[in-house]
A and B are shown apart, each in its own frame.
Chain A
């Protein structure tokens, strides 16, 4: 009889966690390059209260467990910003960011230049080119990022382009193995990633978050209602128990 309570509880815990995922997706609705997450659940079978004297075999009790939060890597909409240092990636590639903890990967292409002339992301970490950080000279102007990631500039009053580097683009055979690190960064865990030559870099655009707000709202309502349903189920179960105890304990006068 207690199993109902425990099964319901396992569902509630999972729903609460799913709500956390929905909340995080919605909170990051305007975060550049953000990738939404989905919860996945699995059945978790367990033996019930065991009693050898029963005629038939005990059936196993099925609980629910959240197995994974998988990343939705679909492309977010591209927003034109006209900022020459904004890049959006058309394709599945990631930009490589050099952090103190090692190389990290991002789709957030809102870049800037630090006082040392390096191309950096919003947190100030260098964005890597195919041969290390991309460094601009103080007199560089008219920065142009080509579709293949080549960055050229006009130096001072020169009229001929000089190359400042090429953005390093990396794609993953198993992108689900990437781990979110916060700060719009992903860490590679088991898949090292390979250079991507197919991706197209769009200058003057940023990739917005791919959170589908309508879908998330629907999911949120679904989660809330399911949670309430389980709660009322558990409540009924509790009432049933209470009634049983009261009735069984009734001593006829």
Chain B
């Protein structure tokens, strides 16, 4: 009975939907996290009676056909790349991007990863690094004895060293954008890497290249909205239950058949 398998595809899809939603909820306090949504498509149809086929010798055409669908499939779990809300932290090296860009991070193996998580700190040599200790690109080194760090909206970092009156410019934090941000591959640790689908990285300067601007002492929160997630969760759970009901109904029909002649 086809309905059994059709309902099974529905159950599998809703199970995945719940997985995606629970990951969003789990990351609702993750800095720079971008929520995902499961996206579904119907499976191919069995055209029992094809619409538009000739129905009689007089040349009448079938106005509607009989199409029996085979269920549902997951086509993707795209990320919603909207801006998360910004919250002020007061920490000098907390940076939020207001716009399209990503921070470029150098990984231990020399490759680059990209992130929206701007909670940076300095390591033992004074380099600006992520919470995992990977340096920001281009490298900015905060000298010993710096009293105040200022990051301008265009990413220019300047510090005031004890004894000096004028601030010294240390360098400029660049941003990177992708034509298809949704095509980036998540790596965990709030990092993304470039893929065939995302297109090549386009490095630029904040404000100048339309990448958005940077805000110091601020962090970008996850763009997860709890109310939406919970209602999606309920809807997914109900859909799962209904598909389970179809399985048991189809089973009852089969049972009726097998009990017909004892």
Which of A's residues lie within 8 Å of B, judged by CB?
12, 15-17, 19-24, 26-32, 34, 37, 39-40, 66-70, 81-84, 108, 110, 112-117, 122-123, 136, 138-139, 141, 154-158, 174, 176-184, 189-190, 213, 216-217, 220-221, 223-224, 227-228, 231-232, 234-235, 238
Contact = CB atoms under 8 A, between A and B. Distances in A.
Interface string B41-80: 1111101111110000000011111111111100110101
A216 B72 CA distance: 16
Given A24-B70, A69-B65, A138-B199, A29 B10 contact: yes
Contacts, number: 231
B64 A220 contact: no
Interface string B233-262: 001101100110110011011001101110
A117 B180 CA distance: 7
A158 B197 CA distance: 26
Contacts of B27: none
A67 B49 CA distance: 8
24 contacts: A19-B249, A20-B3, A23-B3, A23-B10, A24-B42, A24-B71, A29-B242, A34-B42, A112-B183, A113-B180, A115-B183, A116-B199, A122-B39, A122-B41, A122-B78, A123-B75, A136-B179, A158-B210, A179-B52, A182-B44, A184-B42, A223-B249, A223-B253, A224-B249
B99 interface: yes
B66 A69 contact: yes
10 shortest interchain CB distances as A-B pairs: A27-B10, A24-B69, A115-B199, A182-B44, A23-B3, A23-B6, A68-B64, A189-B52, A231-B256, A156-B210
A37 B210 CA distance: 47
Q: Which of A27, A81, A112 has the most CB of B within 10 A?
A: A27
Nearest to A226: B253
Given A19-B250, A23-B10, A181-B44, 11 more contacts: A24-B70, A26-B7, A67-B49, A81-B37, A139-B202, A154-B210, A181-B45, A183-B44, A223-B249, A224-B249, A235-B260
